[in-house]
Amino acid sequence: MSDLVQIDAKFEPRIVAFFCNWCTYLAADLAGTSRIKYAPNTRVIRVMCSGRVDPQFVLDAFAKGADGVLIGGCHPNDCHYQEGNYKALRRFHLLKRMVRQMGIEEERLRLEWISAAEGDRVRVVIDDMVEKIRALGPLKRQPAAEPAAEEVTAA
C-alpha cells in the first residue's frame, strides 16, 4: 500500500469568508461581474471592516461546521476606519495560536489583504485555500465534553 496520504475525492471543504465591505467584498463582486471562476466552497459574510471580525465569529464558524475561515481586508494603510486591519492582524496572530492549541491546523485560518481592484486575487486565494484544506481533510471536531458531576448537581 502506498504511503501517500489518501485524499477523499468527495470531500468539499466549507470555508467561511469574512470580507471587508470596502475592499475584499468588492473584489469578490468584481470577480463575479468579470466572470472569473473560482471554487464555490466559500460562504461570504460581509463585515464593514476586517477589524469587525470578533475572534468569537471565527471560533463559532469552526464549531458550526467550517473547515476553514478566511478573513479578507483592505491593504495596510487603506483601511476605511484607519487601523481596523491592523487590529485584525493582531487578532489573527492570537487566533492562530489559539486554534493550534485547540488542535486545528493553522492553515485552516487565513488572513489576506485584497483591494477592490483585485478580483483575480480572490480567485487565486480561494482556489489555493480550498486545495490546501482539501489536502488536510475535514476538520475533526472534538465532541462536547460531558459536564462534571459537581456542575450538574450544583445547578
| Chain residues in the site for ligand FES (CB under 6 A) | 20, 22-23, 49-51, 73-74, 79-81, 84-85
Q: Least distance (Å) from ligand FES to the CB of residue 90?
A: 13
CB 95 within 8 A of CB 55: yes
Report the 10 Å Cβ neighbour count for 53.
Answer: 26
CB 113 to ligand FES: min, Å: 8
Region of 35 on the Ramachandran plot (φ > 0 left; ψ -120 to 50 alpha; else beta): left
In whole angstroms, what is the distance from residue 111 CA to residue 92 CA? 7
Nearer to ligand FES, 11 or 86 (CB): 86
Quick one: 22 or 139, whose CB is closer to ligand FES?
22
Provide, rounded to whole angstroms, the least separation between the CB of residue 47 and ligand FES.
9
Burial class (CB in 10 A: 0-12, 13-18, 19+), 117: exposed
Which C-beta is closer to ligand FES: that of 25 or that of 62?
25
DSSP 51: G
Query: Taking the complex as a whole, how short is the minimal distance between the CB of residue 50 and ligand FES, in angstroms?
Result: 4
